[in-house]
Structure 1
């Protein structure tokens, strides 16, 4: 997992979920990407959540240079809705809130990422 991605302290996550300021959105985006990196380790799919972070996840062919063969891109609000279970993967894709191309980009088996209290 890249050094810039880290799981936040559970108290930080709870506070950030309640407030949802831009700083909280950044913290939560990186936190949930870190959680996904732990739960679905690998480098075959790149998840992009601009402007905050990106991560390579899911086992399979390793990507090392250039544009990866499998990319998922979404905005921070959609990523947080997916991570917390507020939005289903299929609904987000159907609504055009997630752009996914390539193999292994269906992340529905890995979502939501919010842990029970």
Structure 2
């Protein structure tokens, strides 16, 4: 089983979010924020029925329900890092991201709206 992600230091998160807001973020900031917010999601919605993928940075399994052990899980959510950070921080809603085609979600329980924003 893969190790759980860990939330980042709050000061590092705040600084990286500031650079994102100023449109000055780099890959290091995107990786830090992606992994941080995925770790927060893991803590708030533990489970293994939905795989949330943010390539190339990380993927986690969350939401209670049927656990999968091989192959593609029954529900998959995938998006780019910018979209994930915007959703997690509340600067874009799930409905807006989905209608704009910024989120690819399939399967039962693939709607993350009840868990967002993360803060």
TM class by shorter chain equals: over 0.9
Matched with 2:6 is 6
**1:90 & 1:45 partners in 2: Cα distance?**
18
Give the deviation of 1:73 after TM superposition: 0.3
| Structure 1 residue 113 displacement after superposition | 0.7
Q: RMSD in angstroms over aligned alpha carbons?
A: 1.3
TM-score, normalised by the number of residues in structure 2: 0.92
TM-score, length-scaled by structure 1: 0.93
1:44 to 35, 49, 63: 49
CA deviations over 1:52-92 (Å, ceiling 9, x no partner) = 00000000000111011100000000000000000000111
Offset from partner CA, 1:19-75 (integer Å, 9 cap, x none)? 222101100000000000000000000000000000000000001110111000000
Please tell me whether the aligned partners of residues 4 and 39 of structure 2 are also in contact (alpha carbons under 8 angstroms).
Answer: no
Q: How many pairs does the alignment contain? A: 114
Cα shift at 1:18: 1.3
Give the conservation status (yes or no) of the 8 Å contact 2:48–2:61.
yes
Unaligned runs of 5+ residues in structure 1 are none
Q: Could you tell me which runs of 5 or more consecutive residues in structure 2 were left unpaired when the two chains were aligned.
A: 20-24
